[in-house]
A and B are shown apart, each in its own frame.
Chain A
Amino acid sequence: MELEVLSLFLQQGIASGLVTGSIYALLALAIVIVFRTTDVANFAEGEVYMASAYLAFFLIAIVSMPFWIAVPATVFAVLIGASLFQRVVLTQVAAAKGVSVNLVIATLGLSYVLKGIVRATGFGDTPRSFPSVMGEGSVTLGSASLTYLDLTILGAALAIMAVFFWMFNYTKIGRAMRAVGMNRRASQLVGINLGHVQMLVWGLSGAISAVAAILIAPKLLMTADMGVVVTLAFAAAIIGGFTSLPGAVVGGFIIGITENLVGLFVSSRAINVAPFVVIMLVLIFMPQGLFGGKVRVRKV
């Protein structure tokens, strides 16, 4: 390969990888905050993402709601839905038999329900294209080129992450979320309402998933199975150590960039395998993930 082509591929791979990676990063954040504060690996994450895209599609294309109303309406609806799922279903399951496997099964149940609903409406029967409000056109950065839509996705995702990190690290409610992630009992003893924090975290996770879905949907053909990309968000979360928020973001970008580089340099057929090779390498050389921290020995 000539040097010029090599450099072009490299730059384009990284640029496109940042765009798709930012979506994996958002979804990985949604998975990690829920896991940290409620100990549940949310196996319905993919379907929350999928259902959010369909809800936005329904509001815009069928109800003819203006885009600027449909987007916040979707995000808000998913926020409420996810909060209620935690409040109504998960607390009941936990109270009935506090085994964490049951909680995971409850999330699997949610994933079937959401898929079922989308299938029942008939919208999921044929692939749909999500309307884009971005104008056509692209920008050249170095020798890489990104469309306006790509730049919007990356910019919006980074902005959401920045706001989220600020909230998590510098506000009172963010401090409560971190506390619940570290020590439930101590959190209760300082007066944190565990139920409220956990419900809020599920709601936020839903809202972030909805934003990710709305951002990326115009680049995809929507189907009821589009939630499978969340496998890659789980991969990102694992690479980052599964409890680290910066880890989830870095993991997301690593997966996105790897996919794109492999697609350009190796073959598009190798794209699906690439993230799992990355996971294996990370787990072999850094079993705690990149940001997982050290194994803790409890002092007695």
Chain B
Amino acid sequence: MADLIELVEVSASYGRIEALSGVSLKVSEGKVVALLGANGAGKSTTLNVISGIVPATKGDIRFRGKSIRRLGSDKIVGAGISQVPEGREVFRDMSVHENLLIGAQLRNDRAGIERDIEIMAGHFPVLSKRFKQMAGTMSGGEQQMLLIARALMARPKLLMLDEPSLGLSPLLVQQIFDIIVKLHREEKLTLLIVEQNAAVALAVSDYAYILENGEIAVEGRSADLAHDDSVRNAYLGT
């Protein structure tokens, strides 16, 4: 199937510190790809380079065959790439409802936006009961769900999730991944999932990359990696 997004030899740095050096990866349309690696490996940087928040110093990023490397972050969202950032970055002093509305900031189809809010309420029943509540007063798990719903409000083709399981109880992690998988199946959403929780991520993905110090160290089909003892010992800590 066609590649939805492709990174070709992408490098990025913060000042003098090179965070990514020559990272190449691709996500085919309709697939789920996991990006794994230890803390500080460059996973978030990879997503932020795709989102246009951190500039790529070298290489190219192609979305549906066209380079998006020099596009602004707003244009990238407009093109169909949304990110669920790590760290519970909801708009704290806005209501849940307004957080959803602002997810659709680039859309102008009022009726469609209203309908999608209903759909989100269906996917995330906890949110539907709290539309008027300020987002900052919700629990970690609820904020994580709101972030996913907010990203979906932009109607992305590619959804990137940055450590959706971080800091959540196993039960909540299970709930969130169930929803993610359901979205993937029902809406044909292509997913790029960043995780430190490799077991969960490998279980739901088709293909996986393991980042080490800003470089892709291992890649392969998720099912293979999950059963490869050397990979498990070296990278997955199991």
Report how many A-B pairs have Cβ atoms within 8 Å. 65
Number of A interface residues in the complex (CB < 8 A): 18
* Segment at the A interface, from B75-83, B171-179, B189-197, B212-220: B75-83
Minimum Cβ distance to chain B for residue A75 (Å): 28
Residues of A within 8 A of B224 (CB): none
* Segment at the A interface, from B28-36, B62-70, B98-106, B115-123: B98-106
Q: Which of B73, B85, B91, B98 contacts A191 (CB 8 A)?
A: B73
Residues of A within 8 A of B231 (CB): none
Q: Is the CB of A186 within 8 A of B105?
A: no
Q: Is the CB of B93 within 8 A of A182?
A: yes
| Chain B proximity mask over A152-194: 1 for CB below 8 Å, otherwise 0 | 0000000000000000000010011011001101101111111
Given A172-B105, A190-B106, 6 new contacts (CB under 8 A): A175-B94, A182-B92, A189-B73, A190-B150, A191-B154, A194-B73
Minimum Cβ distance to chain A for residue B147 (Å): 9
Report whether over half of chain A's contact residues are helix, strand or loop; otherwise say mixed.
helix
Q: Is the CB of B74 within 8 A of A191?
A: yes
Q: Which of B74, B78, B89, B106 contacts A186 (CB 8 A)?
A: B89
Report the Cα distance A188→B105, complex, angstroms. 11
Report the Cα distance A299→B94, complex, angstroms. 17
Q: Is the CB of A178 within 8 A of B77?
A: no
Q: Is the CB of A175 within 8 A of B102?
A: yes
Q: Which residue of B lies closest to A186 (CB)?
A: B89
Report the Cα distance A300→B166, complex, angstroms. 10
Q: Is the CB of A189 within 8 A of B91?
A: no
Q: What is the interface of chain A, defined by CB distance below 8 A to chain B?
A: 172, 175-176, 178-179, 182-183, 185-186, 188-194, 299-300
Q: Is the CB of B94 within 8 A of A182?
A: yes
Q: Is the CB of A299 within 8 A of B77?
A: no
Report whether over half of chain B's contact residues are helix, strand or loop; otherwise say mixed.
loop
Q: Is the CB of A191 within 8 A of B53?
A: no
Residues of B within 8 A of A172 (CB): 105
Q: Is the CB of A189 within 8 A of B102?
A: no
Report the Cα distance A167→B227, complex, angstroms. 57
Report the Cα distance A300→B140, complex, angstroms. 9
Q: Which of B85, B91, B154 has the most CB of A within 10 A?
A: B91
Minimum Cβ distance to chain A for residue B96 (Å): 14
Q: Which of B77, B78, B88 contacts A189 (CB 8 A)?
A: B77
Report the Cα distance A190→B90, complex, angstroms. 11
Q: Is the CB of B102 within 8 A of A188?
A: no
Q: Is the CB of A299 within 8 A of B91?
A: no
Q: Which residue of B lies closest to A193 (CB)?
A: B74
Q: Is the CB of A188 within 8 A of B73?
A: yes
Minimum Cβ distance to chain A for residue B88 (Å): 8
Residues of B within 8 A of A193 (CB): 72, 74
Residues of B within 8 A of A183 (CB): 89, 91-92
Residues of A within 8 A of B150 (CB): 190
Residues of A within 8 A of B93 (CB): 178, 182
Q: Is the CB of A182 within 8 A of B91?
A: yes
| Chain A proximity mask over B26-54: 1 for CB below 8 Å, otherwise 0 | 00000000000000000000000001110
Q: Which 4 A-B residue pairings sit nearest by Cβ, starting from the closest?
A: A191-B77, A188-B73, A186-B89, A191-B106
- Beyond A182-B92, A183-B89, A299-B140, whether A191 also contacts B105 by CB under 8 A is yes
